[in-house]
Amino acid sequence: MNWQAIRAIYVFEMSRFFRTLLQSFVSPVISTSLYFVVFGAAIGSRIDQVEGVSYGAFIVPGLIMLSVMTQAISNASFGIYFPKFIGTIYELLSAPINFLEIVLGYVGAAATKALFIGLVILGTSALFVDLTIQHPIAMLAFMVLTCLSFALFGFIIGIWAGNFEQLQLIPLLIVTPLVFLGGSFYSISMLPPVWQTISFFNPVVYLVSGFRWSFFGLADVPIGLSLLAIGGFTTLCLAIIWWIFKTGWRIRQ
Amino acid sequence: MPMVQITNVRKSYAGGFEALKGASLDIHEGEILALLGPNGAGKTTLISTICGITQPTSGTITVGGHDVVTDYRGARSLVGLVPQEINLEPFERVINTVRFSRGLFGKPKDDALLERVLRQLSLWDKRDNRIMELSGGMKRRVLIAKALAHEPRVLFLDEPTAGVDVELRRDMWDIVAGLKEAGVTIILTTHYIEEAEAIADRIGVINEGEILLVEEKTALMTRLGQKELRIELHEPAMALPAALVERGLRIEEGGHVLVYTYDTAQDRTGIATLIREISDAGLVLRDLQTRQNSLEDIFVGLVSKQEDAA
């Protein structure tokens, strides 16, 4: 294992994050605050409680998941797409490193950034609503796993993308709708039966549900199923990345 | 055992284009080899295949005895690459990109070494600058610094002086000479023949994916080198005696100059006889001049011969 290389990639990627620290830090805080103003105060005041939890608090896990997923994807996809775009990928390809080391470096950094932003949002939320976290370790574990699996997914998008438009395409067309329809802002049980059934085909439902369980002990689906879903998604992404590096798809002609 | 051994390497791209057609080449430790060839000859493909950027379709390549495909870690940790294009992250600082390169190749942090490398390339004062603030020539130096940061035993320079000014080119040659002294094996591609002539120990000529020849520079020059003797006359000669025409003497510049081409490798160049015959013909010499064929002439000759054969 070339640990020096993993470290080098990780540090290099993190320095990009720190270079834009203000932007990385301020934008999630502002957007979270806006969500609370709109959903928590304006609309939430008309919705008393969802399954015994105040609406303002109920949306916190979903809000964190929304940001964590999109951040993990955009950081990881940009992280590997940018070297392809400007040509510095030659160095990665000619270095004595294997796919696992490249992935650990890039995905590790992207997941760290997403985790950091998730924690910032959690902190911001605590300013607006009373939060109790029933299972803090499970909460953290869910957050870390989500960061990692979506960073892996983002890494695949970054390798697949041939231009900046494609880089935005999947997050915009697939991920954002799945997240919004994944019970971030409502409980699946609030939907008509047909939509409940359809929702269970949305993988994000399992993640948000599991994450919300760690806060309030409430879940749309059993917690085991949530863990299985995130484990399965991670494995699938790893398998695809392994195949990409084995065949050199889109990176090594 | 050669430092780099390339055996019958073929490379075809999807779409059927064959960039390398069975190239074989041995590169010895500590030498400077210049790979000369026109655009699209396969120079960059050959380098990319050695460095791991592309995979050979068939054939084998070893670096320091390590196969570049099966033992890529062993092979790549010996190799530094300076690409042709200026591929650098514009927002990054010089010192960080150089540090990154060292880490990427698995080498532990060594700030003293990085300082030496940056000083050698006159980049030390610019170490905290962002890449985008540097001039084109400075960016090229950063590319070299990145390659040297991980102490390669073999350094590939892909057209290091394409589009750089004369001063920087001289600097580049000095750097290459310094590296050679430190025992680094250097392979550079170029289509500036004067560059190969100035710094290489051996010269390889590549065209259309084939290595046409590899030879010691001096041997190559003498083997293929032809010389031209230009004889200036006092009075222009309107016509030449048949004996002189038979020797291949040509009239140029309206009869003021006679030109004689001869092979320096031959035992007898025939110059003495020629001069005697010229004065026997009643022509008066004013001046004599000889000119050695440059590598360029040799190169153009080789490539056009290949095209004729095709």
Report pLDDT digits (tens) over B74-120: 999 999 999 988 899 999 999 999 999 999 999 999 999 999 999 98
Distance from CA of A13 to the nearest CA of B (A): 10
- B235 to each of B232, B239, B276, B282, B283, how far by Cα in Å? 9, 12, 17, 10, 7
Going by pLDDT thresholds of 50, 70 and 90, the confidence category of residue B224 is low
Q: CB distance from A88 to chain B under 8 Å? A: yes
Q: What residues contact B276, with CB distance under 8 A and at least 6 apart?
A: none
Q: How many CA atoms lie within 13 A of B185 on its CB side?
A: 16
Least confident of A91-105, B7-21, B287-301: B287-301
Judge: domain B4-222, CATH 3.40.50.300: yes
Q: Which of B51, B88, B108 is opposite residue A4, by nearest beta carbon?
A: B108
Helix axes A55-86, A21-35, angle to 10 degrees: 150
CB B64 within 8 A of CB B71: no
Q: How many CA atoms lie within 13 A of A43 on its CB side?
A: 11
Q: Decide: residue B112, CB within 10 A, 0-12 exposed, 13-18 middle, 19+ buried.
A: exposed
Q: Which of A88, A97, A252 is opposite residue B89, by nearest beta carbon?
A: A88
Q: Residue B81 pairs with which residues in a beta bridge? A: B156
Q: Please tell me which residue of chain B has the smallest CA distance to A86.
A: B87
Mean pLDDT of chain B: 88
Most confident stretch, A244-248, B31-35, B272-276 = B31-35
Q: Which of B13, B79, B103 is opposite residue A253, by nearest beta carbon?
A: B13
User: What is the spatial distance between Cα A251 and Cα A30, in angstroms, rounded to a whole number?
Assistant: 37
CB contact under 8 A, B83 and A19: no
User: What is the spatial distance between Cα A8 and Cα B115, in angstroms, rounded to a whole number?
Assistant: 18
The model carries a pTM of 0.83
* Annotated domain spans of chain B: 4-222, 226-292
CB contact under 8 A, B146 and A91: yes
Q: Residue B263 pairs with which residues in a beta bridge? A: B226
Judge: domain B226-292, CATH 1.10.260.40: no
Q: Decide: residue B187, CB within 10 A, 0-12 exposed, 13-18 middle, 19+ buried.
A: buried
User: What is the spatial distance between Cα A213 and Cα A65, in angstroms, rounded to a whole number?
Assistant: 13
CB contact under 8 A, A96 and B105: yes
ipTM: 0.87
Q: Identify the sign of the CA torsion B243, B249, B253, B257.
A: negative
- B113 to each of A244, A253, B8, B148, how far by Cα in Å? 36, 34, 38, 10
Which of A:12-51 have CB within 8 Å of B?
12, 15-16, 19
- The average pLDDT across B303-308 equals 76
Q: CB distance from B140 to chain A under 8 Å? A: no
Quote the DSSP letter at residue B127.
T
Q: Please tell me which residue of chain B has the smallest CA distance to A251.
A: B53
Q: Which of A2, A19, A92 is opposite residue B106, by nearest beta carbon?
A: A2
Interface test with B, best of A82, A90, A102, A106 (most B CBs within 10 A): A90
Please report residues of A whose CB lies closer than 8 A to that of B77.
96
Comparing B40 with B60, the larger pLDDT belongs to B60
